[in-house]
Amino acid sequence: MLALFLFIHIFRIMPKITYISHDGKKNTVEVPVGLTVMEGALQNNIQGIDADCGGSMACATCHVYVPENWYDKLEKVQDAEQDMLDMAYEPKKNSRLSCQIIISDQLDGLEVTTPIKQT
């Protein structure tokens, strides 16, 4: 019984996040709840997210585009993030900093697209 509990606990299903490159290549990985979309990319060696400042919302090099159906489900963009997005490479209406998107079970299946480049 204990073994089963541990098994479920350790191998609990993690949310799947799909990173789409600017030219359409998809990369789906499991990212533990509580990490950010930026950290999920770095830990899985996904190209296209630089995160130069390490997640302190100070550089805009973890910029991603979020499709509309997901964008509205995310926590609202704060002023400081919006200000940083002004500095991003080709920001759009659906731009976010991936260091500010914290993975939860509700975000299972989230897709984000990385820009052509970050700097």
Write out the residues near other proteins by the rule CB under 8 A: 50, 52-54, 56, 58-61, 79, 82-83, 86-87, 89-91, 93, 119
Distances (CA, A) of 109 to 1, 57, 65: 31, 24, 15
Q: The tokens of 81 are what?
A: 């993030």
d(CA 110, CA 86): 24
Smallest separation, CB 40 to other proteins (Å):
16
Please say which residue, 94 or 104, places its beta carbon nearer to other proteins: 94
Smallest separation, CB 48 to other proteins (Å):
13
68, 113 in Cβ contact below 8 A?
no
Coil, strand or helix: which one is 41? Answer: helix
Smallest separation, CB 2 to other proteins (Å):
32
